[in-house]
Amino acid sequence: MTIQEALEKLRSKELSVTELVQAYLKRIETLEPKLNAYLTITKDFALEKARELDKKGDFGAPLAGIPMNLKDVVCTQGIRTTACSKILENFVPPYDAVVWQRLKKADCVLLGKTGTDEFTMGSSNENSAFGPVRNPWNREYVPGGSSGGPAASVIADETIFSIGTDTGGSIRQPASLCSCVGLKVTYGRVSRWGVIPYASSLDTIGPLTKTVEDAAIVLSVIAGQSEEDSTTPAVPVPDYAKCLRKSLKGKTVGIPEEFFKKGVEPETEKAVRDGIEVLKKLGAKVEKLSMPLVKYSIPTYYFIAKSEASTNLARYDGIRFGHATDKPIEELEDLYAKSRAEGFGEEVKRAIMLGTYALSAGYYDAYYLKAAKVRALMKQEYEKAFQTCDALITPTSPFPAFGIGEKMDDPIAMYSADTLTTSINLAGVCAMSVPAGFSKNGLPIGMQIIGPQFGEEKVLHVGYAFEQATEWHKKRPKLN
Amino acid sequence: MLTKDQVRHIAKLARLDLNETEIEKFTKQLSAILEHAEMLKEVNTEGVEPIAQITGLTNIQAGDEPRESTKSEALLECSPQPKKDGMIKVKNIF
């Protein structure tokens, strides 16, 4: 069900919130043994909120009675939040993240917390300490990552929508691999306060939904300045759902050819080129352009992301919160080193190692600083593209879902899954993945629509027009 | 190429007690990643200012007003270590 459909049924009293929530809890119970999308199911909490809303009978709030879930990096007061890491296995936050405060105020009903790669580091969900989420279209395949739980739960209709995080593609790539809509906002559009960080200069928070309109509705609730996060500027928040129903005539979409090069599978390329034809028929002008720096986005990204991760993760020291070793220790330093070695998984250790190296004396200039300069040039490249284009169209992922286990022992092959998404985070711009087709073996393909900083309206506008003209977003996996 | 000793040194800096299998694996993998990153040298960054804040914000300050914190006990409860007099008790530092 979409937000719009559910709101109509709730507001017309065709359904009570309790009935709706019970139906979702039942579906979760049936599907979870197959999908493993949820880490924690907040059944009692959801039913209590549902009863409260039914009793109040007021459906004026923008998301009143809508069942949803949060990726398990969004802190929820009194509800375990793990980042899918052993180091936070028993962590119960004493406060709510700003994004959850806002959703709560809009009267959402939380169904539970969904799976991610550990500390959001990964493109397949296999780095979770609590077992990988399965792709609902084919359970031998990965759902993508790191927001694999959010994406799988949305398309399997185990929730109406979900909130994920995107540092290098972690909302868009799983949305692409599972066939849902995934919106990565401009850096600073949504407050990060209370969300467990990966790389603070790249992290963003956004919705995964079944339609573009739903993404617009959720964004209007969660966007905007918050005093807890000094990187959220006072850019006004429009009613994003109001900007959708306009013609594409007079709009220009840019096609950066570098996004269709090496490594992009022919089926993916064809689906996206067909998508561009759809936009052309809707009246958009199509312009080819070149963005040569995109090819450097993976190394630029990993130096910046892993360096920031290594400093962010320094807080896990076995003292203030999280896992502490129970082995005998001599000195404080042993407590740090042992607790961290026991609590972190392999990809997180690899990130800390790479980041520590890139920031260490003698290497900082060659790696971190070099990457920060390339990043400056990449931002300029995007600014130039948006001088003539309203939005850019590319594939989201170079390939559809891959098999579980297929890329686990080759970090560079795994990082290549993010080839087409990381430059967007580096430039701080916004982008959305929308369903755009299927491979011949039935795996979803996503199309990425990129907009300038704080240009979410443009991205949503193009996405909505595309969605109205195609049927891809209506397809659902067979799960029985 | 990184050596195993370099990787051991990085692990020490990162406060990670890695075993020999991990040291060996990371020596290979980190070397491969650094080799792949050599391509960044192709980009001319002479005279380019590195990015500090991607949407251009500078010096955002919070008002210097004291506020009551209601969370100190709850935050202290998160610690896995023994507590005494509202503080966390830790091992010797030296």
pLDDT digits (tens, 9 = 90+) for B14-72: 999 999 999 999 999 999 999 999 999 999 999 999 998 999 999 888 888 888 887 88
The interface residues of chain B toward chain A in range 8-67, judged by CB-CB distance below 8 A, are 10-11, 13-18, 22, 26, 29-30, 32-33, 36-37, 39-40, 42-43, 45, 48-55, 57, 60-62
In this prediction, residues A134-138 reach a mean pLDDT of 98
How sure is the predictor about B87, in pLDDT bands with cuts at 50, 70 and 90? very high
Count CA atoms within 13 Å of residue A138 on its CB side: 15
Distance from CA of B20 to the nearest CA of A (A): 13
Which of A334, A337, A411 comes nearest B33 by C-beta? Answer: A411
Q: Do B45 and A188 make contact, defined as CB atoms within 8 angstroms?
A: no
Beta bridge partners of A462: none
Mutate to test the interface with B, among A295, A353, A377, A425 (most CBs of B within 10 A): A353
pLDDT at A432: 98
Q: What are the chain B neighbours of A324 within 8 Å (beta carbons)? A: 80-81
In chain A, which residue's Cα lies nearest the Cα of B49?
Answer: A373
pLDDT at B94: 67
Q: Which residues of A are catalytic?
A: 71, 146, 170
> Residue B37, SS3?
helix
DSSP letter (8 states) at residue A159:
S
- pLDDT exceeds cutoff 70 at B76: yes
User: Residue A435: which of A466, A459, A456, A461 has the closest Cα?
Assistant: A466
Domains of chain B (ranges, CATH numbers): 1-42 (1.10.20.60)
- The tokens describing A457, both together, are 């309206």
- pLDDT exceeds cutoff 90 at B91: no
Q: How high is the ipTM of this complex?
A: 0.95
Q: How far apart (Å, rounded) are the C-alpha atoms in residues A13 and A16?
A: 6
Angstrom CA distances, A16 to A112, A315, A337, A385, stand at 20, 44, 52, 48
CATH domain A3-249+455-474 topology: Amidase signature (AS) enzymes (3.90.1300)
Distance from CA of B68 to the nearest CA of A (A): 15
Distance from CA of A451 to the nearest CA of B (A): 14
Average pLDDT, chain A: 97
Mutate to test the interface with A, among B6, B22, B54 (most CBs of A within 10 A): B54
pLDDT at A413: 84
Please write the tens of the pLDDT for every residue from A212-239.
999 999 999 999 999 999 999 999 999 9
In this prediction, residues A75-80 reach a mean pLDDT of 98
pLDDT at B69: 81
**Any residues with CB less than 8 A from the CB of A316 and at least 6 apart, and which?**
A87, A322, A323, A339, A340, A343, A344
pLDDT at B64: 87
Residue A272: CB atoms within 10 Å: 24
**Any residues with CB less than 8 A from the CB of A194 and at least 6 apart, and which?**
A74, A75, A93, A95, A96, A97, A98, A99, A100, A228
Which of B29, B50, B62 comes nearest A230 by C-beta? Answer: B62
Tell me phi and psi for residue B22, to 5 degrees: -65, -40
Domain residue ranges in chain A: 3-249+455-474
pLDDT at A410: 84
Which of B17, B30, B48 comes nearest A376 by C-beta? Answer: B48
User: Residue A161: which of A103, A120, A223, A116 has the closest Cα?
Assistant: A103
Please write the tens of the pLDDT for every residue from A242-260.
989 999 999 999 999 999 9
Q: Do B15 and A317 make contact, defined as CB atoms within 8 angstroms?
A: yes
Q: How far apart (Å, rounded) are the C-alpha atoms in residues B35 and A304?
A: 17
In this prediction, residues A295-307 reach a mean pLDDT of 96
User: Residue A398: which of A422, A378, A371, A425 has the closest Cα?
Assistant: A422
Left if phi > 0, otherwise alpha if psi is -120 to 50, otherwise beta: which for A198?
A: alpha
pLDDT at A273: 98
- The tokens describing A255, both together, are 């096609």
Please write the tens of the pLDDT for every residue from A419-460.
999 999 999 999 999 999 999 999 999 999 999 999 999 999
Please write the tens of the pLDDT for every residue from A381-412.
999 999 999 999 999 999 999 999 998 888 88
Residue A453: CB atoms within 10 Å: 23
**Any residues with CB less than 8 A from the CB of A29 and at least 6 apart, and which?**
none
